[in-house]
Amino acid sequence: MAHKKPNLPYKVCPICERPFYWRKKWQRDWENVKYCSKRCASEHRPDIRHNNT
C-alpha cells in the first residue's frame, strides 16, 4: 500500500487549471512556483495589449 500525504499544500496551474502539489524539489522556491510543468510554463505568453487611442 502506498504512503499518502494528505496535508501537502497545493496550487492551481493557470494554464491547464489542474491542481499540483508541493514537491521536495520545490522546497526552497515554492512561493515562486506558478506552473505545474515545464510544458505549461512554456505555453505562458504575456498578454500584450496596445492602446492605440
Q: Which three cell numbers stand for residue 11?
A: 496550487
The pLDDT of residue 51 is 56
Q: Is the pTM of this model over 0.75?
A: no
Q: How far is CA 42 from the centre of its chain?
A: 12
Strand partners of residue 19: 12
The pLDDT of residue 38 is 92
Residue type, 2: A
The pLDDT of residue 43 is 85
Q: pLDDT of 1-53, one tens digit each?
A: 566 777 889 999 999 999 999 999 999 999 999 999 999 999 866 654 555 55
What residue ranges in 7-52 does DSSP mark as E strands? 10-12, 19-21
Q: Quickly tell me which residue has 497545493 as its cell.
A: 10
